[in-house]
Amino acid sequence: MTDRDSLVAALTALSVDATSPDGTVTATVNTDGVLTRLHLSDAVAGLSPAELAASVLATYAAAQRESAQRTAALLAPLGTAGYVMDRLRWRAGFSPVTAAPADAPPADAPPADDLPSPDGAYVRNRSSDAPPPPAPSTPPTDDDWYDRGVRSDSAW
């Protein structure tokens, strides 16, 4: 088997398990950090939804970090520069925010321009905008565009 084949086989076989400190959540991820298995013990019945969500997120992130470190170790002989290694370094250092501190002030409301419309869509209804200007009666000549250039046309 060639070095390339063995590297591909090792990356394909890579799987990382992480378990929460209390043992209620176990997450398994592949080399890309994609969740492939999630196991919840019977003890999750005693957790609140927020506690369970925080535990799942923290455990998943721990598995992703370990996966990124192992993947980077496998790819290190190829070099440590480039986009893939940058993404692996980011994944290895990622730590999600699982809950806001109790004494944290409430977040400011987003600007009105960023709020969705009442129907939940972010697309602006342009049907009430002014109609486009009427087409010229004669086709434009090259001289018509000499001073302005094509990009100053509103169609661009």
Q: How many domains does the chain have?
A: 1
Host domain of residue 38: 3-93
Q: Has residue 7 been placed in a domain? A: yes
Question: Residue 119: what pLDDT?
Answer: 57
- pLDDT at position 52 is 92
- Which positions of the chain have pLDDT values less than 70? 1-2, 97-129, 140, 142-156
DSSP state letters, 26-57: EEEEETT--EEEEEE-GGGGGS-HHHHHHHHH
What is the C-alpha separation between 42 and 63, in angstroms, rounded?
A: 21
Q: What is the pTM of this model?
A: 0.57
Instruction: Evaluate whether residue 117 is within a structural domain.
Output: no
Residue 138 resides in a domain: no
The verdict on residue 56 lying in a domain is yes
The C-alpha atoms of residue 154 and residue 33 are separated, in whole angstroms, by 45
CATH number at residue 60: 3.30.1310.10
Q: Is residue 68 part of a domain?
A: yes
CB 44 within 8 A of CB 24: yes
With CA atoms as reference, report the closest residue to 40 among 56, 54, 29, 51: 56
